[in-house]
Amino acid sequence: MKTVTIRELHSRTGELVRQAFQHGEIRVTDNGRVVAKILPEAEPAEVPYFARRRYISPGMKKLIESGRLGPGGTDSTIGISEDREDRA
């Protein structure tokens, strides 16, 4: 386990964070007293909710499958109008 001063942490933050990832815990001291720890991430970060969600509405599924929902985009009013016509 490595120990560094606040001054060292300030001047070498990136390097010390990478070292913590590779070698484990690093303790940070202020006037000889441990005031903080840099710990490596133990587990992979959880994927945020919004990145996991899936579109389940039939209308959205239809848009995705039609290929009209893509990088170029399309006028949303066209898709809405067509969806309304399909319901009638």
For 33-73, the pLDDT digits (tens) are: 999 999 988 766 677 777 777 666 787 777 777 877 655 55
Averaged pLDDT, 27-36? 96
Question: How many Å apart are CA 3 and CA 23, to the nearest integer?
Answer: 12
Predicted structure pTM score: 0.47
- Do residues 26 and 2 lie in contact, with contact meaning Cβ atoms separated by under 8 Å? yes
- Number of structural domains found in the chain: 2
Tell me, yes or no, whether 9 lies in a domain: yes
19 falls within a domain:
yes
Containing structural domain, residue 6:
2-38
In the chain, pLDDT over 90 holds for what percent of residues?
38
In the predicted structure, residue 75 carries a pLDDT above the cut 70: no
Residues 9 and 33 both lie in one domain: yes
Across the chain, what does the average pLDDT equal?
A: 81
From the CB of residue 79, how many other CB atoms can be counted at a distance below 10 Å?
17
Q: What is the pLDDT of residue 38?
A: 94
